[in-house]
Structure 1
Amino acid sequence: MQENSGHRSNRERTRETRAALLSAARALFVEKGYADTGTPEIVKAANVTRGALYHHFRDKEDLFRAVVEREAVAVSSEIERNACAAATPLDALISGSNAYFDAMAIEGRARLLLLDGPAVLGPEEMSRIDRETGGGSLLDGLAALFGRAPDPEMQALADLLSASFDRAALAIAQSARRDDYESAMATLLNTLTVAVAGT
């Protein structure tokens, strides 16, 4: 019994160490940027040893990837939580749109996911992270709106809408009026619905 308790304690310490590293790294990456953040200051801010960092992560890029993945999961969870109760596919898309803007309003998130993430990890790795953390929800929403299984044209449309959402999130992060972009996205989605109904 004592031994099991010790194992749980070790697992808990491991989780705490990893969480401390992720939180410290996130704060520094947001404050200083990836290039200007060194592993010694991450270790110091997390109050762990250098060995602990390399026990959990291969290098600074691996730690950055984990930070980005955690942010992407948070965004996806916010969208799912808000869109799943919508009455119609259009309502779900608009709710998901507003939830995306809510999630991206968290300080530093736009920089991590839309600027530094692609610059450090590359577009292919960011696409992988997007796919694995719920990035298919927009495509699913479009499939529900169109009333058919996704096809290459629908995937292209999802890519274009996703780029529009990201551009809007960056503009809002740089002090543009969020209301304007929310309204514009609702107009875009409504127009899309009318176009679908007319086909």
Structure 2
Amino acid sequence: MQEEKRTRSNKSRTDATRAALMKAARDLFSQKGYAETSTPEVVKAAGVTRGALYHHFEDKVDLFRAIVTEEYQKVAAEITASAKDDPKDAIDALRQGSRGFLAAMKDHGRVRIMLLDGPAVLGRAEIDRIDRETSADALRLGLEDAMEAKQMKTLPVQALTVQLSALFDRSALAISEGEDRDAHLEILDAIFETLA
């Protein structure tokens, strides 16, 4: 009984330490960027030791990868949550998803982490893998649904997913720099219509 309590307590401390490191790193990466953030800053902001950092993460890149992955997961959750109303059809579901994506990307720190520093630090292949495992699959499935429902012409779905995903990312970057969100949504809606 005592051993079980100690194990739970150790796990709680471990989870709390990891969460503190992730929060501190996320805040610093989003404010300063990857290159300008040092591991001593992360450790200090988290209120833990340097040894604790390296217990949880191999190095700064490993910590950053965990932050990027968490950001992609949060975006995927926000896209899913954006479908509050039952979409009237597959194209409407894609429209709702695009609004959910752009709403999730309102966070300038998220844009910096996912779209600017992410590819520079981890490389395009690693970012694409993280994207596929978290959110790009939702876009691909939505496109497949629209094609199967004959609401969209049949096209190579993987290539279309890659191209639309790049378009969404560029829109998020432009909006984060002050461009009109509604103008970008109008274009995205028009693209979905032209694919019909």
TM class by shorter chain equals over 0.9
Please say if 1:115 is aligned against 2:112: no
In 1, the alpha carbon distance for the partners of 2:100 and 2:87 equals: 12
Moved over 3 A (4+): none
Give % identity: 52
Report what 1:81 is aligned to: 81
Report what 1:161 is aligned to: 164
Checking the alignment, whether the CA contact within 8 Å between 2:136 and 2:161 is kept in structure 1 is: no
Report what 1:188 is aligned to: 191
In 1, the alpha carbon distance for the partners of 2:9 and 2:132 equals: 34
User: Please, what is the CA RMSD of the aligned residues?
Assistant: 1.5
TM-score scaled by length of structure 1:
0.91
Please say if 1:177 is aligned against 2:180: yes
Question: Quick one: which amino acid aligns to residue 24 of structure 1?
Answer: A
SS for the counterpart of 1:48 is coil
Question: Quick one: which amino acid aligns to residue 34 of structure 2?
Answer: Y
SS for the counterpart of 1:87 is coil
* Stretches of structure 1 lacking an aligned partner (at least 5 in a row): 194-199
The more displaced of 126-135 and 17-26 is 126-135
Report what 2:59 is aligned to: 59
Report what 2:71 is aligned to: 71
Measured after TM superposition, the shift of residue 173 of structure 1 is 0.5
Checking the alignment, whether the CA contact within 8 Å between 1:76 and 1:133 is kept in structure 2 is: yes
The more displaced of 21-30 and 116-125 is 21-30
Report what 1:49 is aligned to: 49
In 2, the alpha carbon distance for the partners of 1:72 and 1:108 equals: 13
State the structure with bigger RCO (CA 8 A, min sep 6), 1 or 2.
2
Report what 1:196 is aligned to: none
In 2, the alpha carbon distance for the partners of 1:78 and 1:173 equals: 17
Checking the alignment, whether the CA contact within 8 Å between 1:57 and 1:63 is kept in structure 2 is: yes
TM-score scaled by length of structure 2:
0.92
Report what 2:29 is aligned to: 29
In 1, the alpha carbon distance for the partners of 2:155 and 2:123 equals: 23
* Stretches of structure 2 lacking an aligned partner (at least 5 in a row): none
Measured after TM superposition, the shift of residue 158 of structure 1 is 1.2
Report what 1:3 is aligned to: 3
Question: Quick one: which amino acid aligns to residue 129 of structure 1?
Answer: I
